[in-house]
């Protein structure tokens, strides 16, 4: 006869700030309110569940980690076929191995913390018969069903700081500077950091850009005596002409291009048409690193404690989200159904336009 509640914790996908705060929120709440609780930390994302690589977590393991960046459990990215299967690098279905660990440990629930892909793969785990609760973690803020994800605000703070520093060197040398930020599919991070740092142009995936429109902003600044320009570029920014092509055609062009990223292409083109020196700065994984900002510590703690209460109430199959300032359970099938893109008519975009920020269109 089963006498204990058994829970596994998984941090999956790219790391970000706030994961340890979320782990702490789940663990401390369960150890406080549940008698005979057993918590297992799965190592390196889904790999731990697939290979039965885990450790038993005691109450002390949840202390002293609130302010730490990264994840004490480690993480990794796991391949999956959307809507079909979670697979290894050879394309083999790993669900049987995951289910074997789940069954042998006699788990009541698996708490999975991750981004868009993780929500979709967690839905497959739920469909296979596992009790699952997820937490929305990504610096991209693109998970459907929640207004905000933990990790996002910390990344905005870092990206903003980078552009604040770039302003001084750009103005000193009279250069165009392109700061390329993370955001392959959605422009939330670039928009927020661009507004916060006073970027002159913000380029996001949801609004294909026209080079002539960017040039217009630069030339207007020159006429006003501003000899430099700062352009915030999401890594997924796309030219208007390229946006009309098929995905296969865009991939073929990318494979042939001499430019390592979109920002280098834009910099070369702007330098040629404006005659002004253009440079690129890419903070890259700095945006994911370091301790979580206070906002993310609070948010991740809220999400973690809410997940613990769902476990206590045996309410499985949900992602914990925030909607209109309230922590709410979101059906996992809803959270995994789509990506939360940045609407081109979002009020923040209009606010940026109102102060003269260009969007390349």
* Under 8 Å between Cβ of 216 and 229: no
What sign for the dihedral angle of Cα 131, 136, 142, 147? positive
What is the number of other CB atoms lying within 10 angstroms of the CB of residue 298? 15
Closest of 285, 308, 340, 328 to residue 119, by C-alpha? 340
Q: Is 275 helix (H, G, I), strand (E, B) or coil?
A: coil
Q: 165-202: string of b/e by CB count within 10 Å (b at 16+)?
A: ebeeebeeeebbbbbbbbbebbbbbbbbbbbbbbbbbb
Q: Which residues pair with 110 in a beta bridge?
A: 8, 132
Place of tokens 């002159």: 200
* Inter-residue long-range contacts of 345-354, CB under 8 Å, 24+ positions, other chains counted: 346/191, 348/191, 348/192, 348/195, 349/191, 349/207, 351/195, 352/191, 352/194, 352/195, 352/202
Distance in angstroms (rounded) separating the CA atoms of residues 197 and 230 = 9
Mark whether 90 is an active-site residue: no
Query: Are 320 and 309 contacting, i.e. CB atoms less than 8 angstroms apart?
Result: no
From the list 15, 44, 61, 140, the catalytic residue is 140
Torsional class of 141: left (φ above 0), alpha (ψ -120 to 50), beta (otherwise): left
8-state DSSP, 93: B
Tell me the Cα Rg of the chain: 22
Task: Please state the φ and ψ torsions of residue 280, each to the nearest 5 degrees.
Answer: -120, 135
Residue closest to 149 by CA, chosen among 347, 13, 315? 13
Q: Which residue has the tokens 């796309």?
A: 238
* 174 HSE (CA, 13 A, CB side): 8
Q: In the chain, how long is the greatest CA-to-CA distance? A: 80
CA–CA gap between residue 233 and residue 213 (Å, rounded)? 14
Residues with catalytic roles = 140
């Amino acid at each position: 006869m089963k006498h204990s509640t058994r829970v596994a914790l998984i941090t999956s996908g790219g790391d970000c700030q706030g994961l340890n705060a979320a782990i702490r929120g789940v663990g401390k709440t369960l150890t406080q309110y549940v008698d005979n609780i057993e918590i297992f930390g799965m190592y390196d994302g889904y790999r731990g569940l697939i290979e039965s690589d885990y450790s038993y977590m005691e109450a002390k393991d949840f202390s002293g980690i609130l302010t730490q960046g990264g994840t004490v459990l480690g993480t990794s990215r796991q391949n999956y076929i959307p809507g079909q299967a979670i697979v290894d690098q050879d394309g083999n279905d790993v669900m049987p191995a995951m289910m074997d660990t789940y069954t042998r440990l006699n788990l009541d629930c698996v708490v999975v913390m991750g981004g868009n892909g993780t929500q979709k793969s967690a839905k497959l785990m739920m469909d296979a018969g596992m009790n699952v609760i997820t937490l929305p973690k990504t610096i991209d803020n693109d998970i459907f069903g929640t207004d905000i994800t933990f990790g996002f605000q910390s990344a905005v703070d870092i990206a903003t700081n980078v552009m604040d520093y770039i302003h001084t060197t750009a103005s000193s040398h009279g250069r165009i500077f392109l700061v390329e930020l993370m955001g392959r599919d959605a422009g939330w991070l670039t928009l927020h950091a661009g507004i916060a740092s006073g970027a002159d142009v913000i380029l996001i995936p949801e609004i294909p850009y026209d080079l002539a429109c960017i040039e217009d902003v630069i030339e207007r600044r020159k006429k006003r005596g501003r000899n430099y320009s700062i352009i915030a570029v999401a890594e997924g920014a796309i030219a208007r002409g390229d946006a009309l092509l098929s995905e296969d055609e865009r991939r073929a062009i990318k494979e042939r291009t001499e430019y390592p990223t979109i920002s280098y292409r834009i910099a070369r083109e702007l330098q040629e048409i404006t005659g002004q020196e253009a440079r690129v700065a890419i903070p890259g994984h700095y945006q994911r690193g370091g301790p979580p900002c206070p906002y993310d510590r609070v948010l991740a703690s809220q999400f973690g404690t809410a997940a613990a209460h769902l476990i206590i109430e045996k309410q499985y199959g949900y992602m914990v989200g925030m909607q209109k300032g309230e922590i709410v359970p979101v059906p996992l099938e809803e959270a995994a159904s789509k990506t939360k893109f940045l609407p081109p008519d979002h009020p923040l975009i209009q606010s940026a336009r109102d102060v003269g920020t260009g969007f390349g269109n």
